[in-house]
Amino acid sequence: VHPDCVAAVDRAAALLTAAGHEVVEVDRPLGPAVWPLFETLWYVLALAPVPPERESELLPLTRFLRARGAVVGAGALMATLGEIQAQVRLGARRTADCDLLLCPTLAAPQAPVGWFTADADPAADFDRQRRFSPYCAVFNVTGDPSVSLPLGRTATDLPVGVLLTGRYGDDARLIATAAQLEHCSDGWDRHPAIWRGVDSANVNGSGVGRSAP
């Protein structure tokens, strides 16, 4: 994990502690052993119906995932689903004493444009994506509500996110705590210069951008 991502989590933990929360370290709900299960599901999810004559229009990564998913049998898929459900239950027990979980949003602050596809190898693309974003995948599996908050900054003043995750169905507590962190950190209404220099209805609607002609 990049030091800037760790620093952002440390800052969030300090802000939460100062606001009266008890912050403790806990075991992660799901570890690396669950990745092959999630990977199998990811392959199968890529098998949405596509007319054969249009397969060539799919991205190389999508074709790669579909090829992997096509060889997963029904028995293997059912076994994978069952094991993931068991792992999610075990993960819930590991974190049962916590109202919220805090971790980095990504393993690195940013990825350069074109970094994932630089090798023109879909397998390398997929591997880089999972290494860049391992934390979000955990909560894709558990189904718990999460929100990414820009609490950190890099040396070049780019935002670094932390991921705050609530219990299943407890979205209200999650959003309330996110709002509390926003208030404690003096907000995050910060935008690059280009944001204020464009003519955009979306930007202007927020009161930030230049007025449209």
| Sheet with strand 100-104: strands edge to edge | 100-104, 159-166, 146-153
131-164 pLDDT, tens digit per residue, is 999 999 899 889 999 999 999 999 888 899 999 9
Identify each DSSP E strand in 100-145 by its residue range: 100-104
Average pLDDT along the chain: 90
Spatial contact of 136 and 146, defined as CB atoms under 8 Å apart: yes
Across the range 83-101, mean pLDDT stands at 94
Q: What pLDDT, on a 0 to 100 scale, did the predictor assign at position 201?
A: 59
Banded pLDDT at 193 (limits 50, 70, 90): confident
The architecture of the domain spanning 3-189 is Alpha-Beta Complex (3.90)
Q: Is 91 left (phi over 0), alpha (psi -120 to 50) or beta?
A: alpha
DSSP assignment of 34-54: GHHHHHHHHHHHT-----GGG
Q: What pLDDT, on a 0 to 100 scale, did the predictor assign at position 191?
A: 72
Spatial contact of 209 and 196, defined as CB atoms under 8 Å apart: yes
Spatial contact of 120 and 180, defined as CB atoms under 8 Å apart: no
Instruction: Give the distance from CA 33 to its chain's centroid.
Output: 19
C-alpha separations of 147 from 19, 151, 176 in Å = 19, 12, 11
Q: Looking at the predicted structure, is the pLDDT value of residue 207 above 70? A: no
Across the range 75-103, mean pLDDT stands at 95
Q: What pLDDT, on a 0 to 100 scale, did the predictor assign at position 91?
A: 92
Q: What pLDDT, on a 0 to 100 scale, did the predictor assign at position 203?
A: 57
Residues 6+ apart with CB under 8 A from 50: 58
Three-state DSSP at 147 gives: strand
pTM above 0.75, yes or no: yes
Across the range 43-53, mean pLDDT stands at 93
98-128 pLDDT, tens digit per residue, is 999 999 999 999 998 999 999 999 999 999 9
At residue 165, φ and ψ (nearest 5 deg) are -125, 135
The residues spanned by each domain of the chain are: 3-189
Q: What pLDDT, on a 0 to 100 scale, did the predictor assign at position 202?
A: 60
Across the range 207-213, mean pLDDT stands at 52
Two tokens, residue 167: 């219990």
